[in-house]
Amino acid sequence: MNNRTTYDDGRITCDENGLTIGWYYPWGAKHIRYSSIRAVERLSLTGVNQVRRWRIWGSGDFVHWWNLDPGRTDKDLALVLDVGRRIRPTITPNDAEAVERIVRERMSA
């Protein structure tokens, strides 16, 4: 079956079945089915959270796990994915609003 890609910025890809986070692990990507996502929340990378934009990869608080994104320092918005576990994948797509919209639409489908 061919999965049609609805978003791809080179690090984050959304297709018909889920979201793929590139460089999530040192050895590669993480795929999350939309049905596994309980919630998506916006996390501003400005103001008091500005320091978070310098988290290039990994976790600084043992809750958020950031995929490798050297361009994060130039971004203002992250998306936190609640997948029902303590560690929450936290991503900074180039078009965070588009990814948030896609995820919310697919979560409710």
pLDDT tens-digit series, residues 96-105: 999 999 999 9
Candidates 3.30.56, 2.20.25, 2.50.20, 2.30.29; CATH matching 6-107:
2.30.29
Residue 13: per-residue pLDDT: 97
In the β-sheet with 64-66, what is the strand arrangement from edge to edge? 39-44, 77-82, 88-91, 64-66
Closest CA relative to residue 90, chosen from 40, 48, 50, 54: 40
Asked if residues 108 and 72 have their Cβ atoms less than 8 Å apart, the reply is no
Q: How far is CA 103 from CA 5, 61, 70, 73, in A?
A: 13, 25, 23, 24
Going from the C-alpha of 85 to that of each of 12, 33, 72, the distances in angstroms are 20, 14, 24
Residue 103 phi/psi, 5-degree rounding, is: -60, -45
pLDDT of res. 4: 87
pLDDT at residue 2 is higher than 70: no
